[in-house]
Structure 1
Amino acid sequence: MNGAVQAGYAPPTGPDRPAPGRRWLRWLLAATVAWAVLLAVLTWVSVRDDPPTVREQRNLAEAGPVVDRAVGELLAAAGDGGAARLVPDALRRGCRITPFADGATLTRGVEVLLADDDVRGLLQRVADRLPAEWRAGVRVTGEGPVLRADAGEFVAVQGRSAGPGRVRLTADTGCRPIGAGYRAPTAGGGSEAETATELLRRFGGAEGPVQVSAAPCPDGTTARTATAVSAPSRPDRPSLPGTLSQFSDGALHVSATDELYAYRSSSTVVAERADGRVRLTVSTVCRR
C-alpha cells in the first residue's frame, strides 16, 4: 500500500498550508475592507469638491439665500408690470425626505396686480428678463399660461394667474433637511412700515404690529413690503379711492375701486377690503 491513500481519509494540509476555503475567505475580507475604504475616500472627496447632485444635499439654511435672491430677481423683472409686492414667506414642516427623516419646504413669492388681465404678457416679459441660465419659459396649459424656471441649487421658479388681474411668482426649495433653519433677510431701514401705519389711520388704525418682508435686489439694494391690517370697518366705511387718492397724485393707477385700490409711484401701495377690514401694503421694489 505504498503511496496509497485510504478511502475516506483526507491527507493532512500541514501547518503552513491553509485550507483553500479559509484562504478564499481571507481574500474576500481584504477586498471588502479595501472597497469600503475606497468608497469612504471617494465620498469625502465628493462632499468636499463636487456640486450637489440631488436636492437633499442642500439643507434649508443653505437653500434659503438662493430663494431670497430668486425673489429679488422676480421682483426686478416684474416691478414695472403693475403693482408688485412681496408676499409673506411660507415654511411648511413635516414633509418626508426619507422614510426616517422629516424636512421642510420654503416658498417665497411676489404678487403683481395688473391694470388689465394680460397674464401671459406679464409672464413672458418676466421670463425674458430673468437670467439666461435660469432657462425661463412660458407655456400655455389647461390652467392657463405658466412660467417655469430653474434658479439653481434645485430651487424651482413658477408664475401663474392668482385670480383676475393677479399674477403670483414663486421660488420654492422643495423638501429639504432643516439644518440650522431658514433666516429671513433683515428688513432694517426704510419708511414702508411708517407709511403703512399712517395711511391705515384713515381706516381706524392698524390692529396688531406691521409685518415687513425683505429681499435682496440684483443691484444690491433691498426690497421691502410692509403689511398692516385695520380693525373692523367703522360704520361710515371710508372709501378707498376717496381716502387714498390724495396720496397718489401723479402715480400710475393700477386699480381704483372701493374693494381694491392700487398705485405705483416711488412706492407701491395696495389697499383691499376683506372680511370687513382693510389690508394695506406699502412696498419699495427692485428696479431693473
Structure 2
Amino acid sequence: MKKTFFLSLILLSSALFVNAQQTVSPPTVGFDVEKANIPHGVVDTVTYTSTTVGTSRKATVYTPPGFSKSKKYPVLYLLHGIGGDEKEWLNGGKPQVILDNLYALGKLEPMIVVMPNGRAMKDDRATGNIMAKDKVEAFATFEQDLLKDLIPFIQKKYPVYTDREHRAIAGLSMGGGQSLNFGLGNLDTFAWVGGFSSAPNTKAPEALVPDADEAKKKLKFLWISCGESDGLINFSKRTHDYLTEKEVPHIYFTEPGGHDFNIWKSSLYMYSQFLFKKNIPTLASAK
C-alpha cells in the first residue's frame, strides 16, 4: 500500500545538499523482505571491556556484503530503545535485511553497523522495571562507554576509518534521544546524526545545539523523523523548530504511524542512504 507522508526539508545557508547525485524516497513494499538471490552481510556478536561500567559488554555488528579486511569502512552506531538491548534492532527492525537490499540496488556506501547495548550498567538486561532510576541513568552513562570503550574497541577489531567524517550515530526512541544528545554533543566525534522518534531523554534544543555556527560547520548531515500519531512527536518537532530558527540544515520527516518499528525501519531505510556520500542526496518530495 502506498504511503503518504509530510516532508519538511530544510535547505539553508549550507552547501550540504548542493549538487546531489541521488534522490532518496520512502520505502516501497518489500524493502524489508529477505531476498535469497542477492549478496548478504554478516551479523556477529562481539564482547568488549568497558572501563566505564567495570565489566565486559556485548554488541552486535553487521559487516556489509563483500566485506574485506583489506579495505577501510565508515561506521554507523545504531542504538535501541528503553526496552531493548543489542539485539532489539535485529529482532524487530531487520536492519541486515534492509541494508542487504539497499546494497543490491547500489544505494549505500559500504559501512559497518554497530548495535550496542545502550544501557551502560553491570546488569544491562532489559528486565524488571525498565523505567527504574538506575536503568534510565544508565542510558546517559552510555555516552562515556561509547566514546571511551566501544569506539576504540571497534577501531582495533575492524578495519575502520577513525575520523569524525566517517562516523555516524542514529537510534530509535530512547536511542534517538541518545543519538541527538551524543552526536550533537560530540561533533568532533560524529559528523552524521539521526534521531528516530526521539524520546523525552532528548535534551532541550538550546542544550543540544548551543552553538549553531559550530553545528553548521561540522555536521555533514542531520536527520530527525517521527510518526505523525506518535505521542512523543513534540520532542522531535521542538528540535526541528529550533534548528529552523537557527538555520541549521537538517531533514525533518514525518509519516503516518505511531511509535513502532514500522516508522523506525522506514527511517533507517532512508537515513542510511545519505551516509558517507560526498554529494549528499536529496529527499524526494511527496507525490
TM-score bracket relative to the smaller structure: under 0.3
Per the normalisation by structure 2, the TM-score is: 0.25
Where relative contact order (Cα < 8 A, 6+ residues apart) is larger, the structure is: 2
Per the normalisation by structure 1, the TM-score is: 0.25
